[in-house]
Amino acid sequence: MNNLNFDPIVLTQNLVRCPSITPKDSGALDIIENHLNNLGFNCQKLPFSGDNSYEVNNLFATIGTTGKHLAFAGHTDVVPPGNEESWKYPPFSATIDNNKLYGRGSEDMKSNIACFISATNEFISKYGKEFGGKLSFIITGDEEKDAVNGTKKMLEWSKQNNIVLDQCIVGEPTSNQEIGDKIKVGRRGIITFYLSVKGIQGHTASAHRAENATHHLTKLLNNLISAPLDNGNKNFLPSSIQIATIDVGNTAANIIPEMAKATVNIRYNDLHNSKSLTEWMQKHINDVFDKIDKASCVFEVEANGESFLTKPGKLSTLITKSISEVTGRNSKPELATDGGTSDARFIKDYCEVVELGIRNQTLHQVDEFVFIEDIKMLQKVYLKLLENYFNKI
Ligand SMILES: [Zn+2]
């Protein structure tokens, strides 16, 4: 049994000291389970496997039997530290220096989990286990990698068990300059196209007998980026088309290559979806290749989540109120949709979801850290949010 310590800074350190690189858990889920058990939560480990991915351990913890149901969602897994020599302190040492807590996962997102557990501890000590609502933790060990046997399956499991969530906070790092100045109410979608063009190989001196795959691929890529997909809208930045790779694999200067490949990665807003973008790609391919007999282009698609927007509603209003009550700031947080993807993409199909967490500044980098003051502030914001959500003030 781990020592219980609900101080959000110590708890962050204890979690960071578990080197839980996806899909290894390294004891992080046990620490959370022990703390929540102690508060009277009903905890269930939910290991899932299959669907062409590795096995993942997850934790669902819940308290309360009646009233509104709020969930906190997060992940204990972290990305690898990279070259450990480059780190100022060992990446899993959770060293505190100059008011900063260093370590892989400190920002993304163990400090956020620690703050929510710490706030829950204070909330339950103040209002008791029968506080008139339901509160659950949905914690996965696989957000950073495949995300196949994590949050998605926990949500399916909860539905099968007639667990209905009303609202959900995802503890990803969203703040910018100050805690709570930015929250996320949506995310852009991601789609990747793997293009393969096939022509006819030949001697560069006898080009009339060959068909250069590279020429056709570059024409297609040029067409794809010649005009923006859109100009963005009130809630989203413009969609972005990025050519991530171009591969010909030709080692000789006197050979016309037969094959040419490229990877195109698109981050798109709510003006598109994976189906409309796949049609867009096919149209561009037809435009270039319909007229050519001797070359063709095929592609594979990987769609990793549609874009979504949670319409400003009850939860974002409550969050805004709680942030200004704690920080004393009157300015409303920015309701953003930028950045990468998160498990909110799965949760949005079940309930209203908003992401609110620590400042987004060093995640996935060498010397990832969080400010001690930010941890304290975030814990207070989460506590106020619990009080406002369950009408305790
Ligand atoms: Zn994260």
Domains and CATH numbers, the chain: 8-187+308-389 (3.40.630.10), 189-303 (3.30.70.360)
Does the pLDDT of residue 371 top 60, yes or no? yes
pLDDT in tens, 119-159: 999 999 999 999 999 999 999 999 999 999 999 999 999 99
Q: Determine contact, residues 307/189, Cβ cutoff 8 Å.
A: yes
- Cα(44) to ligand 1 centroid in Å equals 22
Confidence of residue 330 (pLDDT cuts 50, 70, 90): confident
Q: Determine contact, residues 336/344, Cβ cutoff 8 Å.
A: no
Q: Look at residue 42 in the predicted model and tell me its pLDDT.
A: 98
Does the pLDDT of residue 305 top 90, yes or no? no
Place of tokens 């939860």: 315
Does the pLDDT of residue 88 top 70, yes or no? yes
Strands 69-75 and 134-140: parallel
- Cα(235) to ligand 1 centroid in Å equals 22
Does the pLDDT of residue 1 top 60, yes or no? no
Question: What is the mean pLDDT of the segment spanning 239-265?
Answer: 96
Which residues, other chains included, contact 162 with Cβ-Cβ below 8 Å and sequence gap of 6+?
Answer: none
CA distance to 251, 257, 278, 306, 320, per residue, from 188 (Å): 38, 36, 16, 7, 22
Which residues, other chains included, contact 223 with Cβ-Cβ below 8 Å and sequence gap of 6+?
Answer: 284, 287, 288
pLDDT in tens, 34-49: 999 999 999 999 999 9
Chain-centre distance of CA 177, in angstroms?
A: 20
The rounded distance, in Å, linking the Cα atoms of 280 and 198 is: 21
Chain-centre distance of CA 266, in angstroms?
A: 16
CA angle 12, 357, 353 (to 5 degrees): 125
pLDDT, the chain, mean: 95
- Cα(33) to ligand 1 centroid in Å equals 19
Q: Look at residue 311 in the predicted model and tell me its pLDDT.
A: 80
Does the pLDDT of residue 2 top 60, yes or no? no
* C-alpha gyration radius of the chain: 24
Confidence of residue 185 (pLDDT cuts 50, 70, 90): very high
- Cα(336) to ligand 1 centroid in Å equals 16
- Cα(326) to ligand 1 centroid in Å equals 24
CA distance to 58, 245, 267, per residue, from 304 (Å): 21, 18, 10
- Cα(143) to ligand 1 centroid in Å equals 7
Q: Look at residue 304 in the predicted model and tell me its pLDDT.
A: 78
- Cα(77) to ligand 1 centroid in Å equals 8
Confidence of residue 100 (pLDDT cuts 50, 70, 90): very high
| 30: annotated active-site residue | no
ω into 377 cis (within 30 of 0): no
SS3 380: helix
Q: Which of 25, 77, 107, 387 is catalytic?
A: 77
Q: Look at residue 43 in the predicted model and tell me its pLDDT.
A: 98
Question: What is the mean pLDDT of the segment spanning 14-20?
Answer: 98
Question: What is the mean pLDDT of the segment spanning 172-180?
Answer: 97
- Cα(340) to ligand 1 centroid in Å equals 10
CA angle 310, 311, 317 (to 5 degrees): 100
| 77: annotated active-site residue | yes
Q: Determine whether 311 is exposed, middle or buried from the number of CB atoms within 10 Å of its CB (0-12, 13-18, 19+).
A: exposed
Q: Look at residue 126 in the predicted model and tell me its pLDDT.
A: 97
Question: What is the mean pLDDT of the segment spanning 357-385?
Answer: 97
CA distance to 57, 110, 289, per residue, from 139 (Å): 9, 11, 48
Q: Which of 143, 211, 352, 368 is catalytic?
A: 143
Strands (DSSP E) along 189-310, which ranges?
Answer: 189-198, 202-203, 240-247, 255-256, 259-268, 296-303, 308-309
Does the pLDDT of residue 331 top 90, yes or no? no
Q: Look at residue 339 in the predicted model and tell me its pLDDT.
A: 82
Place of tokens 């987004």: 360
